[in-house]
Structure 1
């Protein structure tokens, strides 16, 4: 008997055909499995977006508060003063000048002037004593007789208080007049309270501005050659005076010998 023949679809020559068909089928199947993607017109995928949060309202530009009006303490009135020095060569610094306003023994205001000599404060209204002092030298109000650093003022006034000041000096006054003075004569101021002394000399005008003239001090002047104290028999020498007014000039009468 003749053995049966295998089916034609199992013929070995068809194996490559089957393999090619299987490959084509796999490709077709893969094309049907499409990865999910965003629809047309959507933004491309990106990192996760945080949930929206409440946004603080945008503050409008701040406006600078208007300057508050100057207010005065209850029961007080503003008072101003202008301090000037009568002589520029006196060397008094305006910022070293202090103005005091007093009511009897009570000091109502005590402040320094600024570099322009301007001064202001607030005090109770009334008739007050206005005084001026300096850290540079003993000073007085110009034109006061007797010499004084204080005067009475009505507060408030219609205008600023004007205080014209000048320093107290040690002066060699030449009897009989003349232009010559005993310049370079030595000045010594002795302070009894602490034993301190201040030394200086008369300038070309025949005067010397001390740093202070307390009531316990004594001022001594020793003349240079060619001069003597008025009425003295001998030339030169030294004379001393006690201080009776701490803002008044200390004057020695002298004459050529």
Structure 2
């Protein structure tokens, strides 16, 4: 565990896991309604009757009494945040039927929350940020699962594409991605959308935003090199995308996530 905060009926845990075996592990019975937000890695996830791949663009509800467990890739570093709730928010979580797509701005709010916890923000601010984050997430709606008749081979192909895009968000072309996966571009595009409810382009954009925020939280170096490494045409292309997806610029993200700003106004998201 990297940190934990208990405030205003909320329990927030941020965890970092490095597993040595691919076996199902970290078995846990859910004792309070909760949501788990993945922020690093792609790994197996079981919760109640739902079983599939967990990834950084999806949040996973946990209902009281459910057994949850995880299967990590050996040596991979996976990270996620678990938020246990009560009251009206708990009732909303209980009504969730499956995984939720995590908008990019919700992920940014989670990262700013983590930065503020590390900087010693008081319980009032932490609770306010968590409730705002959860409201945005629950308002985003559910994730479409595989269509009826989905085959195991199609699920494996979509999962392999998700793993590859998470590991290499700057991959240069659809031709390169399909070639790495041993399939055609048209088949990959069609299967991926059917299995995830998202286009490959949309998924890659989210993975690139994840990677950009990771690097900017640690300074990120020259923004031109950062843009090139993530497959953007140039610094301006990176800036346009972050404005559209996150409502801010790479330079501003560096300040927000690197902990240089201090005022509440500066940390608003």
Decide which structure has greater helix share.
Answer: 2
Measured against the shorter chain, the TM-score band is under 0.3
TM-score (norm 1): 0.23
Give the structure with higher Rg (CA).
1
Q: Comparing both chains, which one has the higher relative contact order based on Cα–Cα distances under 8 Å and sequence gaps of 6 or more? A: 2
Decide which structure has greater strand share.
Answer: 1
